[in-house]
Amino acid sequence: MDVFKPLFPCVLALVCITVLGGCSTNPATGESQFTALMSPAQEVQVGASEHQKIVQQFGLYNNQRVASYVSEIGRRVTQNTERPDVQYKFFVLDSPIVNAFALPGGYIYVSRGLLALANSEAELAAVLAHEAGHITARHSAERYSHGVVTSLGAAVLSAALDSSAANQALGLGSNLYMSSYSRGQENQADTLGLRYLSNAGYNPVSMSSFLQSLSRHSQLESQGSENRNQASSYFSTHPATDDRVQKTRAEAGQFRPDGEINREAYLQNISGLTYGDSAKQGFIRGQSFYHTDLGFGFDVPPGFRLINQPSQVVATSSNGGVIVFDLAPSQGVADPGQYLQSVWMKGEGVSGFEYLTINGRKAATGAFPGSVNGQPVTIRLVAIEWQNGQFARFQMAIPGQGNAALVEQLKAATYSFRALSTEEKARYRPYRVQIVKAGAGDNVQSLASRLPFGDLNEMTFRVLNALPAGAGLTAGNSYKLITE
């Protein structure tokens, strides 16, 4: 957000002196602020409309017990903030990515991925308190206001103050909730969050212990254990550096050290939480992708790495092969050949066109020359009849002159597309968080061996349970496992 800095002084002066007649002083931070385009009422309006987009993009995690628990903790940490005008609302997003963010108007979100990483009620409270800090300090309102100024320029500011124009203008800043805060804003939210956390009776050290877990989790992700979209992780919205761990630990010393942690209560509340991709998102098991909600599956060749993205599944291989799978509306065309040629290829023409039958479904294929990262490839398309006015589609890139073995592998992937039987739908299930008590004979290795992540079992177990290398279990304590 450095882009705003050169603009800021002159725009600030213009707005404060000539248009609105004054900046406001923030009751939480004591600083004067540039929030010219957003009154508290507008914050509520922007929050409500952005909230719809977020729910559409991620979906809410459908578990009333977890939702109520998060709201209860959220209310506890926000009841004594400096902005009693704000109605705080808390939501759990159905996303495996570890993230939390806030919108103007009091909307605070945590992902189920973040809930699976936290180890106590106090750590969850710390995350919610930090987000509340962004709201009371009006960081997101500032981002929106700055975004509007940058988009429109100062010349049209007075026009933008008319409410319908302002709303239109605010639309230009959509998705700003996903952009990152400045380091100064992060530190300020940490400081405010620590105060709210301690006022609510929680142990303030939990802020730094959760930041420590976030840092270890990012190391785990860099090991490639999870196919996550890093662009929307906690680190992209809240640039968390290791010095935040140190800084919040030192700052916690200013507060009562004896607050609640509530580890056991927290673990019992997240018991059974979905981990990783859900049935609604489809999930990867080995070289297969299963979508048990939509009822289909397919396999990719050995050596291909599957990545589940929101609108498509991608598999890539070191030999240059690429497979992209998605579902697309048939646009009123029932025949797969006609769909492929006239809708998908828009009449551009393909070579090697033919009809196929794939596990009883009518399909069509054709190829054309293309390029991937500047390298010439043959792109083969396959459209397969599916349900509800949709085609299942494969796009496959075959590098260079074509490699007979790779072509055979990709053909096998195509022919593996199938509807899942009732028995398969019951057998393939998303992972869940399971809470177990360590017995006297248990150790890290024995519990970690029950995870499904192979070589990464121990590292994953240690990260999820905040056990640094070398730390052992305490018999009788509860720990998180990931199981099917």
Task: Say which residue the tokens 């002083």 belong to.
Answer: 25
Which tokens belong to 93? 């997003």
Q: Kindly state the smallest distance separating residue 183's Cβ from Zn ion, in Å.
A: 10
Closer CB to Zn ion, 151 or 215, in the complex: 215
Amino acid letter, residue 333: V
Cα–Cα distances in angstroms (integers) from residue 259 to residues 125, 199, 212, 246, 255, in the given order: 12, 9, 19, 19, 9
Q: How far apart are CA 469 and CA 185, in angstroms?
A: 32
Q: Kindly state the smallest distance separating residue 22's Cβ from Zn ion, in Å.
A: 28
Q: Kindly state the smallest distance separating residue 239's Cβ from Zn ion, in Å.
A: 8
Burial of 471 (C-beta count, 10 Å sphere; 0-12/13-18/19+)? exposed
Q: Kindly state the smallest distance separating residue 203's Cβ from Zn ion, in Å.
A: 20
Q: Kindly state the smallest distance separating residue 88's Cβ from Zn ion, in Å.
A: 16
Stretch that binds Zn ion, among 183-191, 253-261, 310-318, 369-377 (CB under 5 A): 183-191
Q: Kindly state the smallest distance separating residue 189's Cβ from Zn ion, in Å.
A: 5
Stretch that binds Zn ion, among 158-166, 187-195, 203-211, 393-401 (CB under 5 A): 187-195
Closer CB to Zn ion, 211 or 467, in the complex: 211
SS (H, E, C) 277-345: CCCCCCEEECCEEEECCCCEEEECCCCEEEEECCCCEEEEECCCCEEEEEEEECCCCCCHHHHHHHHHC
Task: Say which residue the tokens 């914050």 belong to.
Answer: 43
Number of C-alpha atoms within 13 angstroms, CB side, residue 37? Answer: 36
Closer CB to Zn ion, 123 or 385, in the complex: 123
Closer CB to Zn ion, 15 or 129, in the complex: 129
Among 36, 126, 128, 189, contact with Zn ion (rule: CB under 5 A) = 189
Q: Kindly state the smallest distance separating residue 377's Cβ from Zn ion, in Å.
A: 42
Closest CA to 356 of 341, 371, 337: 337
- For 445, other C-beta atoms within 10 Å of its C-beta total 10
Stretch that binds Zn ion, among 172-180, 181-189, 193-201, 277-285 (CB under 5 A): 181-189
Hey, which bits of 205-251 come out as E strands? Answer: none
User: What is the spatial order of strands in the sheet that 313-317 belongs to?
Assistant: 304-308, 313-317, 322-329, 390-399, 375-385, 361-372, 351-358
Closer CB to Zn ion, 238 or 393, in the complex: 238
Q: How far apart are CA 303 and CA 283, in angstroms?
A: 18
Q: DSSP states of 57-84 as a string?
A: HH-B---HHHHHHHHHHHHHHHTTSS-T
User: Segment 220-259, which members bind Zn ion (CB under 5 A)?
Assistant: 238
Closer CB to Zn ion, 189 or 327, in the complex: 189
Residue nearest to Zn ion (CB): 238
Binding mask 13-52 for Zn ion (x = CB under 5 A): ----------------------------------------
Closer CB to Zn ion, 100 or 413, in the complex: 100
Q: Kindly state the smallest distance separating residue 180's Cβ from Zn ion, in Å.
A: 9
Closer CB to Zn ion, 216 or 238, in the complex: 238
How many residues interact with Zn ion (rule CB under 5 A)?
Answer: 3
Please report, as ranges, the residues that interact with Zn ion according to CB under 5 A.
186, 189, 238
